[in-house]
Amino acid sequence: MSVPATPSASRLARPVSFTPSRRPLSTLSVTSDDSSTATSRSSTPSLLGNAKKFKAAISTESKSRLNSKSRPGSPTKDGARPKTPTSRPKTPTSGRPKTPTTPRRGTEEVVVSEMDVSRIDPEEVLVDYQTVELGDISGEIDEALLKDYGADDKVLVSIRIRPTSNPIVWNINDKKIQLDSQAGKSPQEFNFDEILTGSENKPVYNAVARSHVCAAMDGYNSVIFAYGQTASGKTFTLTGDEDQPGIIPRAMKDIFSYIRRTPTREYLLRCSYLEIYNENIHDLLAPPSTSAAQPVQIHGIGPNVVLTPLREEVVTSLKGVREVLQRGEGNRRTASTDWNERSSRSHSVFRVVIESRERGERQDVEASSGRMTPGFRPPTPGGARLQARGGRTVQTSVLSLIDLAGSEKATSDKERTREGKYINTSLLTLGSVIGTLAENSSKGKTDHVPFRNSKLTRMLQPSLSGDARISVVCTINPGKDAVSESTSTLLFAQRIKKVQLNAQKKEVVDTGALLERYRKEIEELKQRLAEREADAPVRSRRLSAREQLDESRAMQDLNARIRQLTNLILTSQTVDESKGDESRPASPTKVDFDMSPYQLQQELLAARRQLDVQSNQILSLEAALLARPVLPPDAPDSDKDKMLSDQAKTIRELEFVINGYEDNLGEPLRQVKEDVEREWSAKLEKETKLREEKEAWADVLVKQLEKEKKTRTKLEEERQALAAFVRKFDALGLGNSIVLPQTKLKPPMPTPGGAAAVFAERQQRQNRIPALQDLDTVTEASPVRFTVSAAAEPSLLEEEWDGMDEASFEIVEKLLSGKGSESPQSPLREVFTEKENVPL
């Protein structure tokens, strides 16, 4: 379906001033009325001024608040609702440098608000259902229209197509949009949450903004922004005109409607308005001279963004909002360009900080909040203004409504071209940030996101990082002359749809009460610990090992709880004083900058040491986590219980080790340790003695062996001598003729088997000496004694023949030399031969 060139008769019948006069006439079919455009822009807030005043019955609490003399915009005696002050001193128009050709509107009307939040007591300017005027609210919010967009953590992306007199080249089918094939490009189909046409702003507000405004009232940060090429209708969508109020005025009406519908809570509303012009941030609510002299700076690390100095003004009615908007818009830079008579030359951000808490009893509120002594309170930059008291938490959220400058081609004007470059660069950065976030979300990547490349993206970092619910209205010109710009806008819209969000409600707890509770608990714990420590030496003597163990564990628990509470106190104090509505993790350590450098250095060192210890703990916990036994998810409960009790046991044992072995052992366990040591030293002594005995015996054996060896050598020499003698003897043929004198030589009688058998028998006898390996069993008999008895048995090799003396050898000499007998068959030879039983 094609969008009709004239979207609807009723829309075009209205003198809508969407066609700037400086635009080339050839592209226009609906003539515009320049003066009406200017008028409609400049008179935007007036549409809110027609609201009827409503006098609601007010509570005692409200009355007291309203009757407070010190309150700015004090009510009249008839109890009328509080008003945002209107009488302000006029400021000079000089100040922040203006865009040369297009002086900002309204500078002559710029006034300094007395509702600057840093000058008033927040408790005095609360809004509740009784103080809201009926004229300040939209018709009752139709719950049926409130789709809970954003709850699914997706960006709500809508396309708004402005009317044009040019031929339309886009086909729209419900929530799909596709370039007409006639346009000559590949017809890619895009799918969005909403596609809106026409000039009615109400349906646009209902579709793209209302749910996000309500989410902000419910405690979620919400961001709504318009993106698109120049003159495509961003400002028309956000601000609108007299006939068609845009998202901002409608949102403010809905905020008051919401308050009116919520009798249980009271609210503090603060507004700020800024613009980013040529990469400088200007406070649109500050007097221009101040704003020029002191551009707003972005502070903070990572997603923690703090803007200072930025004026915040409390609003208690729609009228107050209107004044703030009027002032801010008057300070905004717009200029006539080739495409838009009043082109926004900057990105503008209108922020409403919404703080709320449950309504309390009057007395309680006054006593706890100090409402009885209203007046100046020291501001807490970036923090919540409302105090959480009496057990009531403060919920804080920010609604940001952003009108981006439109991307554009170079123009004939040098100044516009320069601005255009800044605008295009920051929009390109926004595009690449969104692109990276989308990639990271869809592909599970963690690529670096270039938030810092522009002020716009740096400022949007918390929201784009997932801290807010986001709705984007992408405005396009459907004409043939803007196909490439519209396609690029649709591609941007498609990318941002993929960004993953995770907005959470922000609540500041009643820190005063909580801290008091922590302090009390710490005191009690310290006292209990001191009592136990004092009692410990006496008690430990009476306690069993088990009880001592429990005792030491109880002391450790007490210490741990004290440490934990102390940390909580530090953290809470830091949250209270510096975290404010961002509710971001804060350093648990408070730095006192009045300390000397040396003290600070010591603090730093201590903090580093603690960090080291903690990172070690993390490592060991991670290791334990990795090493944990894995149970299937469907494992029976008994198994899980067992595993848990095993792990608890292991943890207890590890704690033992970690907390100091000696310290935790206690007296009884020390005794066990000494007993074990005694037993083992006795065993060691016995073993040492045994080893010494064995070494002595081994020495004896070695000596014996050496002796045996010597004897063997001697015997061998004897044998060789004898063999030589026998050979000589035989050679002389004296074997048979020798008669040995019976008395002198009595050689042993040959035995069966000869000398070898005798030798073997002796050896056997000797072998009856137990083997070394048997000695272990013969424990009682000392191997030394055994060796001595073995040595008493003469060796065969040492044995000398009876009667064999020097004389005997002489006779043998004679016989061998042939002097005793000539016969070769001498019986002597036989004897000698047989004696040795060895071959000669």
Would you tell me which residues interact with ligand ATP (CB under 6 A)? 16-18, 37, 162-163, 199, 228, 230-236, 340, 342-344, 405-406, 475
Q: Where are the beta strands (DSSP E) in 364-485?
A: 394-403, 469-476
Tell the smallest beta-carbon distance from residue 406 to ligand ATP (Å). 3
Q: Is 228 annotated as a binding residue?
A: yes
* The residue type at 370: G
Q: What is the DSSP string of 238-281?
A: HTB-SSSB-HHHHHHHHHHHHHHT-TTEEEEEEEEEEEEETTEE
Rounded to 5°, angle at Cα 618 from 613 and 620: 95
Q: How many CA atoms lie within 13 A of 145 on its CB side?
A: 16
- Tokens standing for 487? 């396609």
Q: How many CA atoms lie within 13 A of 43 on its CB side?
A: 13
Q: Is 49 annotated as a binding residue?
A: no
Tell the smallest beta-carbon distance from residue 41 to ligand ATP (Å). 8
H or E segment to which residue 518 belongs: helix 511-542
Residue identified by tokens 């060895």 is 838
Q: Say whether 282 sits in a helix, a strand or coil.
A: strand
Q: Where are the beta strands (DSSP E) in 482-636?
A: 507-508
Tell the smallest beta-carbon distance from residue 246 to ligand ATP (Å). 9
Tell the smallest beta-carbon distance from residue 382 to ligand ATP (Å). 30
Burial zone of 322 (CB within 10 Å; 0-12 exposed, 13-18 middle, 19+ buried): buried
Which is closer to ligand ATP, CB of 30 or CB of 715?
Answer: 30
Tell the smallest beta-carbon distance from residue 344 to ligand ATP (Å). 3
Q: Is 823 annotated as a binding residue?
A: no
Q: Is 234 annotated as a binding residue?
A: yes
Which is closer to ligand ATP, CB of 85 or CB of 163?
Answer: 163
Which is closer to ligand ATP, CB of 18 or CB of 697?
Answer: 18
Which is closer to ligand ATP, CB of 37 or CB of 206?
Answer: 37
Spell out the residues 6+ positions from residue 704 whose beta carbon is closer than 8 angstroms to its own: 787, 790, 791
Which is closer to ligand ATP, CB of 253 or CB of 342?
Answer: 342
Q: Is 139 annotated as a binding residue?
A: no
Nearest CA-CA partner of 403 in 353, 463, 473: 473
- Tokens standing for 468? 């807010």
Crossing angle for the helix pair 637-658 and 545-574, to the nearest 10 degrees: 90
Burial zone of 530 (CB within 10 Å; 0-12 exposed, 13-18 middle, 19+ buried): exposed
Contact indicator for 309, 235 with CB cutoff of 8 Å: no
Task: Provide the 10 A C-beta neighbour count for residue 718.
Answer: 11
Q: What is the dihedral of CA 386, 389, 392, 394, to 10 degrees?
A: 20
Q: How many CA atoms lie within 13 A of 766 on its CB side?
A: 16
Which is closer to ligand ATP, CB of 16 or CB of 354?
Answer: 16
Q: Say whether 244 sits in a helix, a strand or coil.
A: coil
Which is closer to ligand ATP, CB of 171 or CB of 232?
Answer: 232
Distance of CA 536 to the CA centre of its chain: 41
Rounded distance between C-alpha atoms, residue 832 and residue 840, angstroms: 10
Which is closer to ligand ATP, CB of 404 or CB of 745?
Answer: 404
Which is closer to ligand ATP, CB of 329 or CB of 730?
Answer: 329
Residue identified by tokens 């935007």 is 44
Rounded distance between C-alpha atoms, residue 256 and residue 222, angstroms: 17
Which is closer to ligand ATP, CB of 37 or CB of 395?
Answer: 37
Q: Is 232 annotated as a binding residue?
A: yes
Tell the smallest beta-carbon distance from residue 505 to ligand ATP (Å). 33
Task: Provide the 10 A C-beta neighbour count for residue 275.
Answer: 25
In this chain, which residue has its C-beta nearest to ligand ATP? 18
Tell the smallest beta-carbon distance from residue 287 to ligand ATP (Å). 25
Known binding residues for ATP are 228-235
Q: Could you tell me which residues are annotated as the binding site?
A: 228-235
